[in-house]
């Protein structure tokens, strides 16, 4: 089976991209625009400075990955880098497990890895993209300063 970037990403509405980042501004600021969303629910954003950033939803980490789009596109030709960002094997297994994505959906964690979930097919389900980013952002914001192993009660805002 031949895999390309379209198999590892999902389309999103760029005009309503603010809905995807709203619950993450505490971490990413307000000067970043989503440019790419992975099928497994991570996001790549471009800052006003042209730099490209990776928002790793499973871990709640945000890091600069390229100085500009040219460097980012070069990195997207490196299979090891692509596998780190897009988890090729997991994404392929999810698709083969008949977990089909409808428009506006991605694979979302049933339980985030940062609170004990894992990177297995059983821990993912097709989910509305906005719901995924909203809930994950709220969870990460609530637990960001807690020591490992802390018991938590998560509350969601509507």
Phi-psi region of 60 (alpha: psi -120 to 50; beta: other; left: phi over 0): left
- Say how far apart CA 18 and CA 15 lie, in whole Å: 8
| Cβ atoms of 129 and 10 closer than 8 Å | yes
pLDDT for res 4: 86
Q: Give the percent of the chain with pLDDT over 90.
A: 78
pLDDT for 155: 62
pLDDT tens-digit readout, 133-143: 999 999 999 88
State the pLDDT confidence band at 97, using cuts at 50, 70 and 90.
Answer: very high
- Write down the pLDDT at residue 11: 95
Is the pLDDT higher at 149 or at 58? 58
* pLDDT score for 3: 79
Mean of per-residue pLDDT scores for the chain: 92
What residues have CB less than 8 Å from 42, skipping those under 6 apart? 54, 55, 56, 57, 58, 85, 86
Largest CA distance in the chain: 43
Query: In which band, very low, low, confident or very high, does the pLDDT at 58 lie, cut at 50, 70 and 90?
Result: very high
Phi and psi, residue 39, nearest 5°: -60, -25
Please name the residue that has the structure tokens 């897009």.
86
Give residue-wise pLDDT tens across range 60-80: 999 999 999 999 999 999 999
Q: How far apart are CA 9 and CA 149, in angstroms?
A: 32
């Amino acid at each position: 089976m031949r895999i390309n970037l379209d198999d590892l990403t999902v389309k999103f509405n760029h005009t309503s991209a603010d809905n995807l980042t709203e619950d993450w501004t505490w971490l990413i600021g307000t000067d970043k625009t989503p440019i790419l969303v992975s099928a497994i629910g991570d996001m790549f954003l471009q800052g006003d400075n042209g730099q490209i950033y990776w928002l790793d939803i499973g871990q709640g980490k945000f890091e600069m990955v390229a100085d500009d789009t040219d460097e980012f596109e070069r990195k997207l030709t490196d299979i090891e880098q692509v596998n780190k960002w897009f988890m090729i094997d997991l994404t392929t297994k999810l698709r083969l497990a008949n977990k089909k994505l409808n428009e506006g959906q991605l694979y979302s964690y049933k339980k985030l890895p940062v609170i004990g979930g894992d990177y297995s097919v059983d821990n993912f389900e097709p989910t509305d993209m906005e719901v995924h980013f909203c809930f994950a952002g709220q969870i990460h914001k609530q637990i960001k300063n807690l020591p490992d192993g802390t018991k938590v009660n998560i509350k969601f805002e509507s």
